[in-house]
């Protein structure tokens, strides 16, 4: 499979998009087999990965040379970190792993160090996947991991940045929603008990992080927005994919094993899009969102961002002429200058969120980023794969976003940044 993985990384973005469209439509076991092999960490990634299997969470720590650290050294590195990124991967709740975007994750760490001399650690979370584990099992896993980070590792929320892409963004949103007022929720565990084995409440009330980054967030299960019609021909997310996710992840009314209480069915994150106010209660002061102008989820995510900004959240949205999840799945981006711009925004956002948490002054500006014609990417210089299979905007106030008109047509601007 090494040769196949190497060849896939050299495919043009248009071919990668076609491949992802087929993979996401496959049954979960088959899709996982293919995607896990394609995204498997390479040899150069291994020193950056320290895998974790804890009773509270599983996944990995990602950081410079973390594979060589003892447990005590790892704890000290986490304690001394300037920024701790709490990361939840996407994959439609059905596929994906905590190491699936290693080049992207390492890039975040390196760029924050280069720009601001920040020492960064990433806590990348694995969660149980559908259809074997339906809602709310993945939510419970992410909530427990976030609890562990704050309550057991004692990482101060003002230096935490939560990041999620696609379904991972949905899980981040729900985690923040639940932990800001746990009394509103009841999570049913696999054994039917609503407490930890040690006693006490299942969920703790937790303060929000310094900032949140949402990459192509899934905020609703509706597929009626104009972008669903306009962008189906471009994106790798299809109506069929949406139906598969809904079928595999959520318990439906005809499921004989449906033992969720009625209130639980209405509390999942794909209903948060129906909120009109109250966003400041559970979102951090600073939120950054990356969207593709060519993705089907665009309009629903923008509508969500508008409401949050109107409610007082300092929301930054970056829109580029790309498909779903382009900021993490960088193989779908042909013009690499798009990624360079996006990375600069990311680094600046983290600096502002961590440096000004709680007492920041809103900066308001609108900047249309120049259009860059796409060019072929340069040759692939990736190092060889490791064969070890056991390694486990929106505008604020009077600023408007012009990615689409009322009829849903795309604008001529290919990239926009709004703060």
| Residue 272 confidence (pLDDT) | 77
* Tens digits of residue pLDDT in 208-218: 999 999 999 99
Q: What mean pLDDT comes out for the span 49-64?
A: 97
What is the number of other CB atoms lying within 10 angstroms of the CB of residue 189? 13
Question: Strand 314-320 to strand 415-418: parallel, antiparallel, or no bridges (unpaired)?
Answer: antiparallel
| Residue 187 confidence (pLDDT) | 52
| Residue 305 confidence (pLDDT) | 96
Least confident of 159-168, 204-213, 260-269, 337-346: 260-269
| Residue 44 confidence (pLDDT) | 96
Whole-model pTM: value is: 0.83
* Tens digits of residue pLDDT in 288-313: 999 999 999 999 999 999 999 999 99
**Distance, CA of 87 to CA of 110 (rounded, Å):** 16
**Distance, CA of 254 to CA of 262 (rounded, Å):** 14
**Distance, CA of 193 to CA of 212 (rounded, Å):** 31
Full DSSP string of 297-345: THHHHHHHHHHHHHTT-EEEEEEES--TTTTT-GGG-S-HHHHHHHHHH
Cβ atoms of 125 and 88 closer than 8 Å: yes
**Distance, CA of 367 to CA of 375 (rounded, Å):** 23
Most confident by average pLDDT, 1-5, 201-205, 271-275 = 271-275
* pLDDT band per the 50, 70, 90 thresholds, residue 120: very high
Q: Is 370 exposed, middle or buried (0-12, 13-18, 19+ CB in 10 A)?
A: exposed
What is the number of other CB atoms lying within 10 angstroms of the CB of residue 219? 23
Full DSSP string of 3-16: HHHHHHTTS-HHHH
For residue 9, how many C-alpha atoms fall within 13 Å in the half-sphere facing its CB?
A: 21
* pLDDT band per the 50, 70, 90 thresholds, residue 26: very high
Q: What mean pLDDT comes out for the span 76-101?
A: 97
Q: What mean pLDDT comes out for the span 365-385?
A: 38
| Residue 163 confidence (pLDDT) | 98
* Tens digits of residue pLDDT in 188-202: 544 444 433 334 456
CATH number assigned to the domain comprising residue 350: 3.40.50.1820
CA-based nearest residue to 225, from 239, 208, 212: 239
| Residue tagged 């249309």 (tokens) | 368
C-alpha distances in Å from residue 104, one per residue of 22, 82, 84, 145:
23, 19, 16, 21
Q: Look up the domain containing 269 and give its range.
A: 2-418
Range list of H helices, 117-250 = 137-147, 167-180, 226-230, 239-249
For residue 118, how many C-alpha atoms fall within 13 Å in the half-sphere facing its CB?
A: 25
CA-based nearest residue to 148, from 215, 54, 56, 262: 56
User: Domain tally for the chain?
Assistant: 1
Residue 363 confidence (pLDDT) above 50 = no
| Residue 310 confidence (pLDDT) | 94
Backbone angles phi, psi at 2, to 5 degrees: -60, -45
Q: Quick one: DSSP state of residue 91?
A: S
Least confident of 78-82, 329-333, 376-380: 376-380
Which tops the pLDDT comparison, 246 or 261?
246
**How far is residue 195 CA from its own chain's centroid?**
28
């Amino acid at each position: 499979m090494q040769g196949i993985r190497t060849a896939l990384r050299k495919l043009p973005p248009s071919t990668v998009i076609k491949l992802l469209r087929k993979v996401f439509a496959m049954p979960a076991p088959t899709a996982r087999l293919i995607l896990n092999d394609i995204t498997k960490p390479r040899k150069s990634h291994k020193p950056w990965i320290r895998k974790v299997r804890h009773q509270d969470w599983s996944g990995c720590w990602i950081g410079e040379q973390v594979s060589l650290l003892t447990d005590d050294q790892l704890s000290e590195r986490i304690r001394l970190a300037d920024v701790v990124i709490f990361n939840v991967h996407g994959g439609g709740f059905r596929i994906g792993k905590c190491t699936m975007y290693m080049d992207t994750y390492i890039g975040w760490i390196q760029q924050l160090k280069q720009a601001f001399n920040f020492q960064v650690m990433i806590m990348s979370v694995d969660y149980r996947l559908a259809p074997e584990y339906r809602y709310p099992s993945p939510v419970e896993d992410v909530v427990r991991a976030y609890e562990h980070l704050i309550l057991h590792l004692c990482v101060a929320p003002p230096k935490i940045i939560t990041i999620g892409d696609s379904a991972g963004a949905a899980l981040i949103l729900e985690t923040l929603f639940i932990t800001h007022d746990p009394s509103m929720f009841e999570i049913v565990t696999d054994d039917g008990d609503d407490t930890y084995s040690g006693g006490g409440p299942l969920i703790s009330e937790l303060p929000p992080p310094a900032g949140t980054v949402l990459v192509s967030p899934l905020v609703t299960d509706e597929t009626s927005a104009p972008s669903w019609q306009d962008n189906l021909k471009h994106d790798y997310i299809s109506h069929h994919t949406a139906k598969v996710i809904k079928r595999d992840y959520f318990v439906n009314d005809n499921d004989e094993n449906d033992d969720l209480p009625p209130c639980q069915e209405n509390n999942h994150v794909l209903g948060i899009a129906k909120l009109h106010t109250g966003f400041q209660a559970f979102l951090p002061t600073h939120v950054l969102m990356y969207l593709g102008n060519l993705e089907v989820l665009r309009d629903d995510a923008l509508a969500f961002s508008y409401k949050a900004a109107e409610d007082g959240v300092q929301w930054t949205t970056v829109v580029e002429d790309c498909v779903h999840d382009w900021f993490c799945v960088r193989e779908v981006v042909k013009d690499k200058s798009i990624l360079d711009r996006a990375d600069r925004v990311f680094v600046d956002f983290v600096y502002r969120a961590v440096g000004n948490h709680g007492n920041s002054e809103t900066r308001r500006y609108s900047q249309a980023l120049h259009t860059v014609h796409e060019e072929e990417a340069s040759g692939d210089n990736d190092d060889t794969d490791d064969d070890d299979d056991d390694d486990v905007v929106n505008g604020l106030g009077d600023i408007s976003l012009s990615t689409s008109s009322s009829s849903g047509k795309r604008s001529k601007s290919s990239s926009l940044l709004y703060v």
